[in-house]
Structure 1
Amino acid sequence: MGHLLILFFATFSAAFMATVPPGLLNMNAAKTSVEKGKLNGIIFSLGVSTVIMIQAYVAVLISKMLHNNPHVIDILLQIALVVFAFFAVFFFIAARKNKKKKVKIIKVSKKNSFFKGTLLAALNLLTVPYYSGLNVMWNASGWIKFELWDIIIFVLAAGLGTFSVLYMYTIYFNKLENKTNRFSQNSNYILSGLMLVLFVITIFRLLNN
């Protein structure tokens, strides 16, 4: 039971931090709330979170399949290494640029806000490799064992972590809007540092193997 709590908070935190920087999903959730009402923004956020959970589940299946073949564990760790290195550089560059950028806003009606959320989330192709990399690290740390409850907790934590950020954008967007530039820079630096830590840990795992 103890490892399930660790798994939940670790995955929730990773999902939360990955969703914090202003981008297509959270800014559309906020704008939907402003233009169509907070309820509509929450429905949009639920659509996004639903797809995130599906993508997290796919990431678990990929990791589980590879884990069941011991001879590819090193390859899996190398893939995780590349993923974390990419995200570390990506978030660092995003923080260094520190420019206000106009995020494309999609028109959303109350009737189809949920489906708009699922569509936009599905377009984010980096989600699966991100959660696959996390899955490798959590498994190496003994936090996930690819059993039913482990998978359920991982998927739920990914969805709830994402939804919590989108909810904050939906409810508090007016307060965040004027601080978006500094907010984006700081969160991107934190994410870059997190990815760097995971990168270093993965290197040690590879050396130990």
Structure 2
Amino acid sequence: MEVTKLFFTTLFAAFVGVIPPGLVNMTVAKTCLEKGKKSGVVVAIGASIIVFCQAMLAILLAKYIFRHPDVQQNLLRVGLLVFIGLGVYFFLQARKTNHHTKKTKQTSAFSLVKGMTIAGLNVFPIPYFVTISAVFSGDQCCNFSWASIIAFSLAAAIGTFTTLYLYVYFFAKINDKTAVIAKYANYFMAVLMLMLVFITFLRLYI
């Protein structure tokens, strides 16, 4: 019963946590626009695999992270550098993007690796899942059984994939406006990275 409660609570938390526009979901949406629905789904699968690993890492390291706040600070510092780098990349891509963007094929293997890479660069889910796991542990030590750990990680991955698939479904529906949206996709991603840099800076120094 406790494992079931843990699974569905984590599923909901992961689902909600990915709804706001962020690095991973907007990458999925951008891929869907530029490479097609299938590539978008594969990127979502790749990202969800990494989220599974991040959730497992979070719950296994929760005790250590709670006792060493500097670890979470270091994760945020890494995230800050990653977002700055990605912001510059997307801005440069936007500057050279052809206005007549059209879909090109992308192999499933490349899409899978792309999803895993982008999700791996996004370190925010680790502190997020550490906090969620702490809810289920009164002493914040998160001493779960392996069944609970697997249920927690699986729920995080499924919840994430569900939201990402909704992004794919939505952007596939506006296929007729692909050229217009794709034209500004890189600019949007650059602005999004700037916002994430600002939020990370506030969490680190204020």
Q: Assess same fold via TM > 0.5.
A: yes
Normalized against structure 1, the TM-score is what? 0.60
Unaligned runs of 5+ in 1: 67-74, 87-102, 179-209
Deviations 1:30-79 (A, max 9, x none): 12122222111110001100111111111111125x4xxxxxxxx93895
Q: For 2:167, give the aligned amino acid.
A: Y
- Structure 2 match to 1:171: 169
Residue correspondence of structure 1 range 23-102 to structure 2 within 5 A: 23-63=22-62, 66=64, 76=66
Deviations 1:136-171 (A, max 9, x none): 1122299x7511110110000000011001000001
105-114 vs 27-36, which moves further: 105-114
- Structure 2 match to 1:3: 2
Residue 173 (structure 1) shift: 2.1
Aligned partner of residue 139 in structure 1, secondary structure? coil
Residue 29 (structure 1) shift: 0.8
4-13 vs 155-164, which moves further: 4-13
Normalized against structure 2, the TM-score is what? 0.61
Q: 1:135 aligns with which of 129, 133, 136?
A: 133
Contact 1:47 1:117 in 2 (8 A): yes
The CA RMSD measured in Å over matched residues stands at: 3.4
Q: 1:160 aligns with which of 142, 155, 158?
A: 158
Contact 2:51 2:156 in 1 (8 A): yes
Work out the CA distance in 2 between the residues paired with 1:108 and 1:57.
33
Contact 2:32 2:172 in 1 (8 A): no
Matched residue count: 147
Q: CA 1:20–1:154 in structure 2 vs 1: closer, same or farther (change >3 Å)?
A: same
- Structure 1 match to 2:106: 109
Q: CA 1:158–1:44 in structure 2 vs 1: closer, same or farther (change >3 Å)?
A: same
Aligned partner of residue 157 in structure 2, secondary structure? helix
Contact 1:24 1:104 in 2 (8 A): no
Deviations 1:93-148 (A, max 9, x none): xxxxxxxxxx9498993240110111111111222111111111122299x75111
Work out the CA distance in 1 between the residues paired with 2:29 and 2:163.
11
Contact 1:46 1:163 in 2 (8 A): yes
Residue 9 (structure 1) shift: 1.2
Q: 2:121 aligns with which of 120, 123, 130?
A: 123
**Quick one: percent identity of the two aligned structures?**
35
Task: Give every structure 1 segment of 4 or more consecutive aligned residues whose post-TM-superposition deviation is greater than 4 Å.
Answer: 103-108, 174-178
Q: CA 1:61–1:36 in structure 2 vs 1: closer, same or farther (change >3 Å)?
A: same
Unaligned runs of 5+ in 2: 77-88, 94-103, 178-206
Aligned partner of residue 42 in structure 1, secondary structure? helix
Q: CA 1:149–1:164 in structure 2 vs 1: closer, same or farther (change >3 Å)?
A: same
